[in-house]
Amino acid sequence: MDSLNLMNISKKREESRFADLIDQAHANGCYTCGTCSGGCPLTDMESVQNERIDCRKALRMVLLGMEQELVDARFPWICTACYRCVAGCPMGVKLTDIWGRAKALRPRDQVPGVLHKGVESCLQTGNNMGIPTEDFIETLQDLAAELAEEECPGFKIPLDKVGADYLFFENSKEVFADYEDLKWWWKIFYAAKADWTTSSTNWESVDWGIFTANADASKEFARRKVENMKRLEAKTMILPDCGGASMGTRINLEKYFKHEFGPETGHDYVYFFDVLLKFLKEGRIHVDKAVHADRIVTWHDSCKHGRGPRLYWGDDCFQTARDILGYCFDMKNFREMPHNRMESYCCGAGAGNWPGPYQAEKTEHGRYKVEDIKATGAELVVVGCSNCRDQIMRNLKKAYDLEIEVKYIWQVVADALILEK
């Protein structure tokens, strides 16, 4: 390459909308070894071959001044931000940060599918589905009355309770349609005699901003959660079950609201895995292993509960999840997937791909997870993320003729609960 071309590339980098991120993400450290694209499920997917972009090429596009081509491409949107590329990079390049910037630079009226509408609905109404406060309260109270009659006498929703130990957020898809899914956590709180609350406003657990790389919206959703925690004087915020939501919320809490947490403030935040394991270890809830007797079971490590936190903050929920399963199953019937923990494959639903419009791509992406599930011979797949559960149960199961049952890890606990008479 001659000096004139080098000067042009240098000038383009200085003027680039990625200029600040090139340094922050260590992008100049790339020496095109291909480890990122070699470990990325998108690389050899037939449904993406017409675009001919992989991780390595996408990064070179930015470094060579072809940033608009990447902004206009489908690649950043079908990437599930599973962090396999980041985990494998020998130079520590934060590749998913680059794809995130490309998504952020896409005009909002050109964001694929319904993703931006989801952001706008959350900003305007406090939840993705636009459910009015009155309807939300009535739905929760009706379901609570059902649960009290069915299994948990005296159960009521502690709505807007001040001074509770735990603050819990609902996923709008459950409030809108999957009503019964709400009861599993309620049963656990009831059995544990937990002091908890939920807010009547801005209760949406999912961070739709992270799906579209809308940093301002993502920050606002985290701020609302913090505001609810402070308003209700709750001691501990439970991070959302949705992997992307927990990841997005924690990123913003650490970046903008860290001063709101710690012994001096009386506030803390934890993953729901930690809450479940605490209840089990302390004997606040008891489960009957016979409920799941002789079932061959496996566990899906979601990217945003495992690999993501490990890379960002040095911790993860890998072992915590398995410890919880140990209370519910005879672990001689537990089968690890061939690729697990840091090596786990994404189910194909991450970074907004479950509600996103690219059906063929997210289905083909999921074949890696399907192969791992089949290798275990498991009849029950347990998950810890709502998007992972929907992708495996409602898409991959049918697309690949999987003869399996899919359950949340808190559903498994709730099913096996021994409730006091």
Tell me if 211 sits within 8 A of 355, measured CB to CB: yes
Question: Cα–Cα distances in Å, from 394 out to 78, 349, 354, 408?
Answer: 19, 11, 10, 14
Reading the chain (421 residues) residue by residue, the pLDDT tens digits are: 565 555 565 666 667 899 999 999 999 999 999 999 999 999 989 998 888 899 999 999 999 999 999 999 999 999 999 999 999 999 999 999 999 999 999 999 999 999 999 999 999 999 999 999 999 999 999 999 999 999 999 999 999 999 999 999 999 999 999 999 999 999 999 999 999 999 999 999 999 999 999 999 999 999 999 999 999 999 999 999 999 999 999 999 999 999 999 999 999 999 999 999 999 999 999 999 999 999 999 999 999 999 999 999 999 999 999 999 999 999 999 999 999 999 999 999 999 999 999 999 999 999 999 999 999 999 999 999 999 999 999 999 999 999 999 999 999 999 999 998 6
Q: In what order do the strands lie in the sheet with 268-270?
A: 196-197, 166-167, 236-238, 268-270
How many other β-carbons are positioned within 10 Å of the β-carbon of residue 152? Answer: 19
